[in-house]
Amino acid sequence: MNTLPKPNWQPSRQTPQAQGLNGPIAWIGVMLLAMLVAVGLARWSGLDPRTPDAAVQWQRDLQFRDLTNGDIAVLDHRSGLQVAQFSGEQGFLRSTLRALARERHREKLAGDAPFVLIGRTDGRLTLQDPSTRQRIDLESFGPSNAAVFAGLRLAGQDMTLPNIPR
Give the tens place of pLDDT for each residue, 124-165.
899 998 888 888 888 888 888 888 888 888 776 654 434 444
Cα 132 from Cα 115, distance rounded (Å): 10
pLDDT: is 71 or 89 the higher one?
A: 71
pLDDT band at 80 (very low <50, low <70, confident <90, very high): confident
What is the band of 118 on the pLDDT scale with cuts at 50, 70, 90?
very high
- Per-residue pLDDT tens digits for 35-63: 888 887 777 766 666 667 788 888 889 98
Mean pLDDT of the chain: 79
The backbone region for 118, taken as left when phi is positive above 0, alpha when psi lies in -120 to 50, beta otherwise, is beta
Predicted TM-score (pTM) of the model is 0.61
Name the residue among 129, 147, 136, 138 with its Cα closest to residue 63: 129
Domain spans of the chain, in order of start: 20-49, 56-150
